[in-house]
Chain A
Amino acid sequence: LAKTTQPISMDSYEGQEVNITCSHNNIATNDYITWYQQFPSQGPRFIIQGYKTKVTNEVASLFIPADRKSSTLSLPRVSLSDTAVYYCLVGPMYNFNKFYFGSGTKLNVKP
């Protein structure tokens, strides 16, 4: 499975847009990019998934350039409740049990 690299932590203020970038240089043709959010002492929560270009849902947007070697999770107008760890996962569909969550990006939203 493709190895991913994300920043260890990020700080932001309420109301700002936050962009978290994930590098996955050796992504395979059949790999998808999936992002999860995790609050302390809770299970991870699925945020968004995409294969190429741009995907948007009610929570976030996912931008994937043409070469797919990186992706950016965009959280619009964050609030204090968005303080969490965000994980970028890359791998083929139907292979979730092999995904490696890593350390993720700790997003700290300040008032």
Chain B
Amino acid sequence: KAGVTQTPRYLIKTRGQQVTLSCSPISGHRSVSWYQQTPGQGLQFLFEYFSETQRNKGNFPGRFSGRQFSNSRSEMNVSTLELGDSALYLCASSPEAGVNEQYFGPGTRLTVT
């Protein structure tokens, strides 16, 4: 079975721009979660989608949004980028919502200049 895939792997954007990241979960997995990882804050939960519905949301500003499609693929969008948004954005999938065994993708490295 193919693992979680994320595109693009690397991205460089300028402050004020917006960005969309994509995640394809493992086949059959209906839950997709997004995380931000930075050296200073560690791994922080952004949001979780299950069957196209946002199930949980972390403590991030409204500039961070996401959605899930009927095939379970998910996208996250960050508008009005700030320098502090530079991070590794990770997507994880699981068969059910919120379970402790999550399958993470390789991440998208976003650099905001």
Q: Given that A49-B100, A89-B100 are known contacts, is A97 also in contact with B106, CB under 8 Å in the complex?
A: no
- CA separation between A94 and B42, bound complex, in Å? 21
B4 touches which one: A43, A49, A93 (CB < 8 A)?
A43
Interface size class on chain A is 20 to 34
B99 touches which one: A89, A93, A98, A100 (CB < 8 A)?
A93
- CA separation between A102 and B41, bound complex, in Å? 8
Q: Given that A41-B88, A101-B43 are known contacts, is A94 also in contact with B106, CB under 8 Å in the complex?
A: no
B98 touches which one: A34, A49, A94, A101 (CB < 8 A)?
A94
Q: Which of A73-111 touch B at CB < 8 Å?
A: 89, 91, 93-103
Main DSSP-derived SS at the A contact region: loop
Is there an interface contact between B43 and A44, defined as CB atoms closer than 8 Å?
A: yes
Is there an interface contact between A96 and B102, defined as CB atoms closer than 8 Å?
A: yes
Is there an interface contact between B33 and A96, defined as CB atoms closer than 8 Å?
A: yes
- Chain A residues with Cβ below 8 Å from B48 are 97
User: Which of A41, A96, A100 has its CB near the most chain B CB atoms (within 10 A)?
Assistant: A96
Is there an interface contact between A44 and B98, defined as CB atoms closer than 8 Å?
A: no
Q: Which of B16-67 touch A at CB < 8 Å?
A: 33, 42-43, 45, 48, 55-56, 58
A97 touches which one: B42, B56, B107 (CB < 8 A)?
B56
Determine the residue in chain A with the shortest Cβ distance to B3.
A43
- By a beta-carbon cutoff of 8 Å, the part of chain B in contact with chain A is 4, 33, 42-43, 45, 48, 55-56, 58, 88, 90-92, 94, 96-107, 109
Sorted nearest first, the 7 A-B pairs with minimum C-beta distance are A43-B104, A101-B43, A94-B98, A97-B56, A34-B100, A43-B90, A97-B45
Given A49-B101, A100-B42; 11 other pairs, CB 8 A cutoff: A43-B4, A43-B106, A44-B102, A46-B103, A89-B100, A94-B97, A96-B102, A97-B98, A98-B45, A99-B45, A103-B42
